[in-house]
Every structure is written in C-alpha cells, then in structure tokens.
A and B are shown apart, each in its own frame.
Chain A
C-alpha cells in the first residue's frame, strides 16, 4: 500500500515529467524519492522584489529637497512637497540653486524671478536644520513675503502619529 502511493507520487512528479521529455537519458536504477523544488517561480518573485525595491527605495524628494543631508525637524501633520524654489540653510549659510547667497543677493534673485511667468516661483521650500534659530529664518520669510512668494513651507521628515 505504502509502496504504491509513493510510486504514484513519483510518477506524477516534475522529475518524472522531465525524464519523459528526455527518453535517452539513463534512468537511475534506484528511484529517487527526493522532490526537486521548482525554482523558476522563486526567481520570478525575487526579480519582481528587486525591481520594486529599485524603483521605490529611493525617495526622489530626498534628492531634490535634502541633497545636503540636513537634519530636518519631524512632524506628523504635513503636506507633500512640490516642485518650486528651494532655499537651504546650512551652518548659517543660505544656499539657493547650489550657490551660497547673502540675504541681499537672495532678495535680488527672488525679485528677478517675481515677474518671470515661466518660473515656478510661487512656492518656496525652506530646508533648515532642526536646530536653526529663528533669527536666521525670519529674514528669509520677510524676503519671501516681499517678493510675492505665495506659498512658503518648511521641509520636514514625516513621523508616525504616536
């Protein structure tokens, strides 16, 4: 009884089917009862996982808004950051479009963009270290207001609600 069940199981196994496709191959005199796992679906799953992780593991907003690896403050309530002007504050220096500017230069730069319709200059994101004092932020907010920037936001890292 036991033998017949095992022989039936082996006859229906992928190994037996494989052997049927290759009749010239010498059949082992001792029947193997070790099942050979089908690896192709496993490879498919792994490949899909790799592709998914490649696409989703890097948040593009990190590259755009925090390229200087600034230690951002964290908040629960936040909106998504959208494309626009980015002003970073790094060690007290004001960085705009990868160049260090003084406050007067920033004012000139934003004023020059004020009437340029082609530029997406109505939204500005301030990227500052969490320990940045308001003394450094306040002049930038005033310049934004004077330059007609309609939407100002601080870049933050989203944290889960506790």
Chain B
C-alpha cells in the first residue's frame, strides 16, 4: 500500500518563482507618465488675470536659442525689462525667476512664448522651472500670424 504521506519538492517551485521575480524586475516600467498643464494665452480659454494690479512673467524664446525674461503689467507695459539668457543656462534662468517672484509678489501668472523652432523639451523645461517656483498658472502663447 502506497503511503499517503508525501512531501512536495519545493525547490523547483522556488526556482520558478525566483526566475519570475527576476524577469518582472528586469522588464518593469518604473518611470511613470505625468502631465504638465498649460493654459492658453490667447483664444477662448485664456489665462486668468486676477486683477488689474497683477503682473505677468513673460518668457519669450528666440530663434537663436535664447530666452528673454520680462515682467509685464496688465497693459503689457514692461515693469522689468528683457533679460536675455541662453536656453541652456537653466540655473541662471531659475535664479532670475525666483528673484523676480520674490521682488514682485503681484506676479500671478507666467506666459511662455516659444519660437517656431523651439522644441517641446525646451518649453517643458522652462515650464518646469516656473512651476517649481510655485507659480502654477502657466500659459503658452501660440505662434502669431
């Protein structure tokens, strides 16, 4: 009579599970997709302006890979004149944005005005710099004309 008391050999199961874990760890996608919200600077869905006292931070890209930073009031008059930076010097741009927001608390929104040739990566980088300085209301100006 065969004994009903038998042992399952667990070693192959452990090997199989170890292979499964290794495979899943190697093929896993750990970088999540997020979204950067953007508001329209012109058109029906325009960026909100809280009051006539509010100021806007403008970042205008040029074709020669430079970005001009300025602060404009509601009448589009320059409160702080253009300061031009190379798009690659992110640290300088970030410091300028930080200082402008600190010195002008009325800045409630920022508008990015890219050039035709500006890459999406450059736009997102600048928007990221603005949003990381607690200025969440960021708009984008379409190409004029």
Interface residues of A (CB under 8 A from B): 21-22, 39-40, 42-43, 46-47, 49-50, 53-54, 56-59, 61-62, 65-66, 72-82, 125, 128-135, 137-139, 141-142, 144-146, 148-159
A154 and B25 contacting across the interface, CB-CB below 8 Å: no
Q: Which of B17, B21, B121 contacts A43 (CB 8 A)?
A: B17
Residue of chain B at shortest CB distance from A42: B14
A138→B21 CA distance, assembly (Å): 45
The binding surface of chain B is classed by DSSP as: mixed
Q: Which of A128, A133, A152 contacts B118 (CB 8 A)?
A: A133
Interface size class of B (residues with CB under 8 A): 35 or more
In the complex where A57-B24, A125-B35 touch, is A75 in contact with B127 (Cβ < 8 A)? yes
The binding surface of chain A is classed by DSSP as: mixed
Q: Which of B5, B34, B132, B143 contacts A138 (CB 8 A)?
A: B143
B43 and A145 contacting across the interface, CB-CB below 8 Å: yes
Interface segment among B50-58, B79-87, B109-117: the answer is B109-117
Shortest A142–chain B CB gap in Å is 5
- B76 interface residue (CB < 8 Å to A): no
A144→B131 CA distance, assembly (Å): 22
B29 and A158 contacting across the interface, CB-CB below 8 Å: no
A79 and B37 contacting across the interface, CB-CB below 8 Å: yes
A141→B101 CA distance, assembly (Å): 27
In the complex where A50-B20, A75-B127, A142-B43 touch, is A65 in contact with B114 (Cβ < 8 A)? no
B117 and A153 contacting across the interface, CB-CB below 8 Å: no
A46 and B45 contacting across the interface, CB-CB below 8 Å: no
Q: Which residues of B contact A56 (CB under 8 A)?
A: 28
A50→B48 CA distance, assembly (Å): 49
Q: Which of A73, A77, A81, A138 contacts B131 (CB 8 A)?
A: A77
Shortest B120–chain A CB gap in Å is 5
